[in-house]
Structure 1
């Protein structure tokens, strides 16, 4: 009888121990997980604050945040205040150079009937109106993909402007309305927390020689326009000055990338503008207009590019004048009505936009 009681007692003890065992493993799992997380967090902080690479990563992050609607997060990169202010200064007050040489008449005082036409060398063979180049660049710590569109006839390039009051147009809507062959986004617009509807552009807007918007509600914007002679001009010009210079279409954004062959980012820190999806417009010496769109914010596809990357990319391809357009989730390129870049917008058709640069099917006289 006694042996039976001891056996039953040992059996109950084993069952209780078995019941406790899963709980013990759960406790151990959480303890080990907490220790691992704490260790990784400590090593991460040590890397970010104790190494040169970590400091550079925080500078990249701050520059990227300062060029978005979430710039209020930039102080949480914990950069020294003087370094943060230096980044802000480079973004809010970029270097601006007027592309019209000083030797030409002053548009403020002289009557100007339009700039001299761009010398156009006689091509050896007929050129295609539009050519597309695929872009892939690896910088080691990041990489980016995109497209460059070359337009051989600058007179085919026009600014399209939305006629809606409640919102802007999607790029494919612009293209459908006008039969545009190629199209990219242009001006920036008020965009609180990414919910802006793109009805009104920031800065100057000129369409077919008419001033649609002459005020500049956002400081630091720089004009980019194309004249009736097909020449791209950029600088700190008013709408009235641009019209007097013979500009047909114009809009505003920033920063300038290349002016009169000078790369304005050649000696500037890349971190100041961060890494983002980018759009830029430029012109080569022979008059070819260049649209460039770089995808971003898509780790498996393309991280994005710095302003230095954009200036270098265009300079390598012979561009002598170029300026950045609105970037981020607005950056997108369509060819024959189809998207050929990958937007970072949650909506696959991109953002509502106030205007866009487009290649028209027929040259406007």
Structure 2
């Protein structure tokens, strides 16, 4: 009788151990243990290694250049480091250039046998894997700088133009976004640009040259200048079209990000405009915020890439979901904006 009772109790225990509820409890316990170990390993990596510190700096820099800058302190960087990142964003290095310094550098002549007529617009793919991140985009080379103009919205309602609307209106061969604009919640309508705007030699909007924004302009003879100039100074220097943003990337052939880690500005979709020593204007757009396609580039990435391509003067345009490039009326980059046609913009750099 005792043996039978013992066997019965043993079988009941086995059934309890093998019941679905017991198995579920064991699975939940194992899962919780796994995630606790994972969180411990992540904490050790983020707060106990140099790579982890760099990652937190990168995250903070990315947040500081978005509408979610208030989240940057939650990266738990030391206050001194966070202040350093903010200072780099708010007070970028500014150097004035002149048209002569920008483009009048000796250029090696091409052998006669290799000379051929240059296309007005040439497109080059950008596809770079940095190991810990990757980005894609397009470079557009414009051989005649006098064909590059700043186009501005003339709409009378409460919004700016889409890039394809600008392109259609001006029959533009190529076009990229330019100025930033008031955008408190990510739904800005792009009606009014920040900073200076000069169009066809007329000052449409001035700005305080003591701000952290710098001007980028093209003169009537196609030379690009950038620096801490007032609108009146730019017009006096023969500038036909100009706008302002920041930061400068390359001035007088000097890469201003050569000695920087690039974490302050984070990784984002980017737009930049520059000029080579022979006068060729260069548009660059990098896609971002799209895992599986392109994460985005740092300002250092953009400056280094343009320097490699022979650019001697360059400045960043508005980035993020505004970044986009069109060629012959068609988008050749992939915007991070939910709307496939991009955002409403106050102006753009166009080739026509």
**TM-score, normalising length: structure 2:** 0.91
Aligned equivalents of 2:194, 2:341: Cα separation in 1: 22
Contact 2:16–2:22 (Cα < 8 Å) also in 1: no
Partner of 1:76: 74
Task: Provide the aligned C-alpha RMSD in A.
Answer: 2.8
Partner of 2:64: 66
Contact 2:287–2:334 (Cα < 8 Å) also in 1: yes
Partner of 2:32: 34
Residue 19 of structure 1 and its aligned partner are, at CA, apart by: 12
**Structure 1 position 139 matched with structure 2 position 130:** yes
Aligned equivalents of 1:284, 1:134: Cα separation in 2: 18
Contact 2:275–2:281 (Cα < 8 Å) also in 1: yes
**Structure 1 position 281 matched with structure 2 position 273:** yes
Give per-residue Cα distances to partners, 1:253-279, cap 9 Å, x unaligned: 000001111111111221111111111
SS for the counterpart of 1:270 is coil
Runs of 4+ in 1 over 2 A off after TM superposition: 16-20, 115-125, 215-219
Instruction: Select which of 139, 142, 158 maps to 1:148.
Output: 139
SS for the counterpart of 2:53 is helix
Partner of 2:54: 56
Contact 1:202–1:218 (Cα < 8 Å) also in 2: no
Q: 1:260-339, aligned counterparts within 5 Å?
A: 260-339=252-331
Residue 180 of structure 1 and its aligned partner are, at CA, apart by: 0.7
Unaligned ranges ≥5, structure 2: none
Q: How many matched pairs?
A: 343
Q: Using a 3 Å threshold, how does the CA distance of structure 1 residues 244 and 218 change in structure 2: closer, same or farther?
A: closer
SS for the counterpart of 1:273 is coil
Give per-residue Cα distances to partners, 1:224-259, cap 9 Å, x unaligned: 000001000100011111111110000000000011
Partner of 1:179: 171
Contact 1:118–1:231 (Cα < 8 Å) also in 2: no
Larger deviation: 24-33 or 71-80?
Answer: 24-33
Unaligned ranges ≥5, structure 1: 1-5, 105-114, 361-365
Contact 1:331–1:343 (Cα < 8 Å) also in 2: yes
SS for the counterpart of 1:296 is coil
Partner of 2:23: 25
Aligned equivalents of 1:175, 1:45: Cα separation in 2: 50
Aligned equivalents of 1:331, 1:305: Cα separation in 2: 12
Aligned equivalents of 1:80, 1:264: Cα separation in 2: 26
Residue 219 of structure 1 and its aligned partner are, at CA, apart by: 3.1
Residue 163 of structure 1 and its aligned partner are, at CA, apart by: 1.4
Instruction: Select which of 161, 164, 170 maps to 2:162.
Output: 170
